[in-house]
Amino acid sequence: MKRPHGRFLPSAAPYRGQSEPMRTRFILINTSHAGNVGAAARAMKTMGFDELVLVAPRWANVLRREETIQRASGALDVLAKARIVATLDEALDGMTHLCATAMTPRDFGPPTRTPREHFELLSKSQQTSHDSQASQPVSNPEMGAGWVPDGMAFLFGSERFGMSNEDVYRCHVALSIPSNPKFGSLNIGAALQVIAYEWRLALGGFAEQASGAPAQLADAQQLAGMLAHWERALVSIGFLDPQAPKKLMPRLNQLFNRAAVTQEEIHILRGIAKMMDRTAGQAHVTDARTVKGSG
């Protein structure tokens, strides 16, 4: 069964009987700006990912540089776990499905798709395999044989040159974020955030955070008590004629029923009625004194 907010199976879609969810790794190749490493770590953490690998970055101490730490802003645990390797082969160890990030389509190489489009294709293929309870990956004409990944790797090239053709050719797909054709360039942190968000949604997303304890609806007795209080207050301010009430109170009863007022709101409404009564009483006293003084 799919999760309500995702397209993959629960618990980040364990594949082929795995006891642990599929691994997700973000790989930055030849990164030249330390701040982008920190921004990438922060983007990953907001979407619940923590496996970051850097391939031959410009700075050997990039994970400890001040700019990196500042841009990570709370994602220091991701930086602490990050690895630096010399080659892409090392970074790809254990990964079976490789996603390049390339804004410019190639004449040759893997298909170019938007992240959402590609993840939906993965989902359909994975669901087919799950429904058939196949012990081996099911061949999918759009994804090719062996589509079920043990680990997903998202590759990002250098800031100046992007990904090399050779690196793109190794991947199963080139992900292209649909952006403004006249200004489509994204920095690494922003691009990674978009892809991490789309992938997290595909894995099922996170439950929405409750804002607090659910409000308790007022029961019939509380509503009746509040309406009786309001009736007295409306009479005291001259809005309701007790000799000819017509259907004012039943209409107010229906109004508050539709509003599904809470116990907290009942307290507010009774507080208003109390002030109406008090204000009307003060007005009567003032009028009586005025009449007595004029007499």
Higher pLDDT residue, 15 or 233? 233
pLDDT tens-place string over residues 163-184: 999 999 999 999 999 988 888 7
Starting at the edge strand that comes first in sequence, how are the strands of the sheet with 23-29 ordered? 83-85, 52-55, 23-29, 151-156, 97-101, 173-175, 112-113
CB 173 within 8 A of CB 111: yes
Lowest-pLDDT range, 54-68, 72-86, 109-123, 146-160?
146-160
Cα 174 from Cα 106, distance rounded (Å): 9
Q: Where in the chain is the domain with CATH 3.40.1280.10?
A: 23-203
What is the domain class of 23-203 according to CATH?
Answer: alpha beta
Window from 63-77, 81-95, 171-185 with minimum mean pLDDT? 171-185
For the residues 34-54, what does the mean pLDDT come to? 96
pLDDT at 242 over 60: yes
The answer on pLDDT for 237 being more than 50 is yes
What is the mean pLDDT of the segment spanning 98-119? 85
Q: Identify the weakest region by mean pLDDT among 13-17, 150-154, 193-197.
A: 13-17
CATH code of the region 220-294: 1.10.8
Residues 6+ apart with CB under 8 A from 258: none
CB 71, CB 39: distance < 8 Å: yes
Q: What is the pLDDT of residue 162?
A: 87
pLDDT tops 50 at residue 264: yes
Average pLDDT for 266-284: 90
Task: Give the pLDDT confidence score for residue 125 in this predicted structure.
Answer: 72
pLDDT of residue 103: 66
CA–CA separation, 229 vs 223, rounded Å? 10
For 235-256, what is the mean pLDDT?
A: 93
The band of 288, judged by pLDDT with boundaries at 50, 70 and 90, is low
> Which residues are CB-neighbours of 195 under 8 A, at least 6 positions away?
99, 101, 115, 154, 175, 177
Residue limits of CATH 1.10.8 in the chain:
220-294
